[in-house]
């Protein structure tokens, strides 16, 4: 007798049912994609899915884990892409594709990147409707890729947002900004958000998880570095 695993209460039920149907039909598996250790207890990236963020820092952080593990990543529609900030979080610029300006053909450009890269970060130049999102969703499943969207997106596996930012560095008005402590909220469907305190790197220090809420019925794996 085959025992069907229980549904995860922290994730949308409909998404989990779709995954089971895809598996039964022999569709592509939703494979895990590495994330930075500090994020490992907060969000799990899986191929065939899209994830939303509201800041450049979170966009880079979600791409950095795959890049550090040897995967190629891409950034589309990011005219002011910060190469130094990306490298500081662990993005290997030698395995990075950058399309600063996608213009009106952003959908085609992003689809082409999804075809060849494991993780693609998109900054849409316009409001995205369900039809355009559906085109990329299908491409993600077919190519076993991950899409991170900086901005609004009709359907996301999870959304990460900054709720509080605190800088450290200047002393009595002198010196330079060295690092940031931020409070991040991770939302999955209708489940209550999970919040965590993170320290973004300064002076080549790694991204660190300082503290995290523990949602009901779920154990977080704490990590740093």
pLDDT at 223: 34
| CATH (residue range 29-218) | 3.40.50.300
User: What are the residue ranges spanned by the domains of the chain?
Assistant: 29-218
Segments of the chain with pLDDT less than 70: 1-8, 10-12, 14-29, 168-179, 202-205, 212, 214-225
Contacts of 17 (CB under 8 A, 6+ apart): none
Q: Output the pLDDT for position 170.
A: 56
What was the pLDDT predicted at 59? 96
Determine how many CB atoms are found less than 10 A away from the CB of residue 149: 25
Find the angle CA(121)-CA(123)-CA(127) to the nearest 5 degrees. Answer: 135
Tokens matching residue 111:
């689809």
Please give the structure tokens belonging to residue 195. Answer: 């919040």
- Whole-number Å distance between alpha carbons of 209 and 112: 34
Token match 């085959």: residue? Answer: 2
Q: Among candidates 45, 53, 34, 109, which has minimal Cα distance to 77?
A: 109
Alpha-carbon gap, residue 11 to 18, rounded angstroms: 12
Predicted pLDDT at 175: 44
Let me know: does 100 contact 81? Beta carbons within 8 Å.
Answer: yes
Q: Map residue 86 onto helix, strand or coil.
A: helix
pLDDT (tens digit per residue) in 150-204: 999 988 999 999 988 887 655 545 444 456 788 999 999 888 999 999 888 765 5
């Amino acid at each position: 007798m085959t025992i069907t695993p229980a549904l995860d209460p922290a994730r949308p039920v409909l998404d989990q049912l779709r995954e089971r149907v895809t598996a039964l039909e022999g569709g592509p598996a939703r494979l895990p994609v590495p994330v930075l250790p500090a994020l490992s207890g907060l969000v799990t990236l899986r191929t065939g899915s899209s994830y939303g963020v509201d800041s450049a820092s979170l966009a880079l952080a979600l791409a950095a884990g795959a890049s550090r593990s040897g995967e190629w990543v891409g950034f589309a529609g990011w005219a002011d892409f910060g190469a130094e900030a990306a490298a500081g979080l662990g993005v290997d610029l030698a395995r990075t594709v950058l399309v600063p300006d996608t213009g009106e053909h952003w959908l085609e450009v992003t689809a082409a990147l999804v075809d060849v890269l494991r993780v693609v970060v998109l900054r849409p130049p316009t409001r995205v409707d369900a039809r355009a999102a559906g085109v990329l969703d299908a491409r993600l499943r077919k190519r076993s890729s991950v899409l991170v969207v900086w901005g609004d997106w009709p359907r996301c596996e999870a959304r990460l947002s900054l709720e509080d930012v605190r800088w450290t560095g200047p002393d009595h008005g002198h010196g330079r900004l060295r690092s940031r402590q931020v409070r991040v909220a991770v939302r999955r469907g209708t489940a209550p958000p999970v919040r965590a305190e993170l320290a973004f790197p300064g002076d080549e220090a790694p991204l660190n998880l300082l503290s995290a809420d523990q949602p009901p019925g779920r154990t977080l794996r704490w990590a740093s570095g």
